[in-house]
Amino acid sequence: MCGVALRIPELTYPRVRYRRTGLQTVVCQLRFNPILKIGQALPVEFQELLRREFPKFGREETTGFRIGPGMVEALPSQPPVYRFKTDDEIWTAGLAVEYVSLETTRFVDFRDFEGRFSVVEEALRSVYGIDHYSRVGLRYVNVFRPEEFPGGWLDRFNARLLGPMADPVLGPSVKGSVQVVELADEDWTISIRHGTENGNYRLDIDHATQARVEVGAVAERLRSFSARIYQVFRWAISERMHQEMEPEVHD
């Protein structure tokens, strides 16, 4: 695995919507200074504000173990994570002592995602009085499978992204490749984790800022993140892949 630090220029690919994609998961997470009462009492008020759209509820608690010579020691339990799911379990909101999140396995477009996330974020602000966040992140995970895109990956992704896989000398001998590219500018970063995985090609783009973000600026931040992620994604795929994904004009 390798990492490089780069500054990203402005990319200007026209925005489209794809009829076929490898998009597996989209997740947004907002982190804040720990609120201890989230871990000490059930989030009843929070659930009431979400219950119409996210009726299913679950609670996760994790306990770790320290393993040494001749001993196994249980570590203290971590604060719980509360999960709120839609009836079809396609959408999951998460609440923990220091973050709130929304994840979906069936992404339509960012307008739809933003509308659902606003319900979760507004509930957090209403119940817990959040006024700013310490980290704002948006992540798109794509997994392209050979049964859906047969014929190999070399002409489906940007050769500059593929690196050794696209090299005419070394390429035929590369059986697996996983890389991390770090883009940075101003107060944000984009991490691109990509490579072959069990015959699939994974393209995981995680955009975040760890600067203070006031609650009133979150929506615009996320819109700019989504737009920039699309530009990086479009740069990462080839024209062949772009056409195979059946692009449509994005309104």
pLDDT tens sequence across 20-37: 999 999 999 999 999 999
Query: Mean of the pLDDT values across residues 231-248?
Result: 96
Please tell me the total count of domains within the chain.
Answer: 1
Query: Does the predicted model carry a pTM greater than 0.85?
Result: yes
186-217: pLDDT as tens digits: 899 999 999 988 889 999 999 999 999 999 99
User: Mean pLDDT score of the chain, rounded to an integer?
Assistant: 90
Contact 94, 31 (CB under 8 A): no
pLDDT class for 185, splitting at 50, 70, 90? confident
Contact 80, 61 (CB under 8 A): yes
Among 50, 121, 132, residue whose Cα is nearest residue 84: 50
Residues in the chain: 251
For the chain, the distance separating the N- and C-terminal CA atoms, rounded to the nearest angstrom, is 38
Question: Is residue 171's pLDDT more than 70?
Answer: no
User: What is the predicted pLDDT for the residue at 130?
Assistant: 96
Contact 233, 138 (CB under 8 A): no
CB 215: neighbour CB atoms within 10 A?
A: 16
**245 Cβ neighbours under 8 A, 6+ residues apart:** 18, 19, 20, 21, 237
> Which range marks the domain in which residue 100 is found?
5-249
3-state DSSP helix/strand/coil % of the chain, to nearest 5: 30, 35, 35
